[in-house]
Chains A and B, each alone.
Chain A
Amino acid sequence: DVKVTQSSRYLVKRTGEKVFLECVQDMDHENMFWYRQDPGLGLRLIYFSYDVKMKEKGDIPEGYSVSREKKERFSLILESASTNQTSMYLCASSPRPVGTYEQYFGPGTRLTVT
């Protein structure tokens, strides 16, 4: 079974803190994605990566950055957390080519910024 794991299920951080959300997949997938999920808005793409050290902006990249130093790991970084970044964060992976195959999702990290 494809396994996508995220470092935390719940996280509480203070405004201004630097926050790291980690995602690891064990199926040698080339593509990895970070989404945030908010009520009434569905899932919105923050960043994605087609390969190691490659990254592409999604629909809402402002306030976020990413890092992909190894194929299996994709990190989302909130440089200076703000209360409007309180949300559920979902990581996903898929094999190439992008779009042809379904994405496999992790369990999500519910981040609260106070």
Chain B
Amino acid sequence: AQKVTQAQTEISVVEKEDVTLDCVYETRDTTYYLFWYKQPPSGELVFLIRRNSFDEQNEISGRYSWNFQKSTSSFNFTITASQVVDSAVYFCALVLYNQGGKLIFGQGTELSVKP
């Protein structure tokens, strides 16, 4: 079965705290891509990162970092020193090459950062 699970439905933190959003995926494919998207209150999904299955290097972009571990089928997202503007729904997604490249989304994690 191809599936993405974001077990955390809602997370609430206080500004400047670090927060990690979990993503666990299932696929039998050996070649796949994983994505993170942010959906702010305005509603438009914003692309954050793409990672292919052959590249397990962690990535850092400013306050954002991603930890990809094939051994545990996880692709977790950490925000360091969170800010109110980080409040949004975050989606993890998996692309299936054997099904025409469909994106399979997780249920999303709603992050609330309070001042």
Contacts and interface: CB of A to CB of B under 8 A. Distances in A.
Interface of A: 31, 33, 40-45, 48, 50, 56, 58-59, 88, 90, 92, 97-108, 110
A31 B100 CA distance: 11
A77 B45 CA distance: 22
Contacts of A104: 47
A65 B107 CA distance: 25
A42 B106 contact: yes
Contact of B107 (A42, A88, A107): A42
Contact of B100 (A42, A56, A105): A56
A58 B102 contact: yes
Contact of A102 (B9, B43, B47, B100): B47
Interface stretch (B60-68, B72-80, B90-98): B90-98
Contacts of B35: 102
Interface residues of B, number: 25
A41 B107 contact: yes
Q: Which of B9, B44, B102, B103 counts the most A-chain CB atoms under 10 A from its CB? A: B103
Given A98-B101, A102-B35, A102-B50, A108 B107 contact: no
B111 to A, nearest CB: 15
B107 A40 contact: yes
A48 to B, nearest CB: 7
A42 B108 contact: yes
